Amino acid sequence: MADEAGPDPTPVHRYRTELRWSGSTGAGYEAYERAHDLIAPPAGTGLALSSDPAFRGDPSRLNPEQLLVAAASSCQLLSFLAVAARARLDVVGYVDEATAEMPEDDPPMRIVRIELRPRIELADTDRPRPSADRLAHLAEVAHRECFIANSLRTDVTVHPTFTWR
């Protein structure tokens, strides 16, 4: 019998990744290979991953901790672009040098802080420039709308700077 209420009006977004590793842990902690590969269909480009070099990983490959910081940074970018577009603010450049901290002396080990420092370049138009307070508000709205930051237990702080071109 068909559901008389109709389709669920609230979509659920689903994400999938496929990770592949092969090797052996038989020779102990120091010997096993940390390198592995990740794909996320339908994207055709994969990622070559490893552990942090502090944990015997390959420094030429991305590690999970970097991916977490990158996810927070990317999500803030995309959220800010959406907020800016809705506010009719023309963003023409965005660079973020994001950082994270994971102390070893406070078990269990975890990322305890992510700091995003986006440098946001705005187009000078014939419209009046928004105030510094307005720009800070838009960055805060973007942060509140960031799916990744909303999903994390760790503190994610955003310290934007704005310039005009």
Q: What is the pLDDT of residues 19-42, one digit of tens each?
A: 999 999 999 999 999 999 999 999
CATH (residue range 64-164):
3.30.300.20
CATH 3.30.300.20, the chain: domain bounds? 64-164
Position 3 scores a pLDDT of 54
> Nearest-CA neighbor of 163 among 118, 102, 110, 108?
118
pLDDT tens string 85-142: 999 999 999 999 999 999 999 899 999 999 999 999 999 988 899 999 999 999 999 9
Position 153 scores a pLDDT of 95
d(CA 44, CA 10): 29
The mean predicted confidence, pLDDT, of the chain is 95
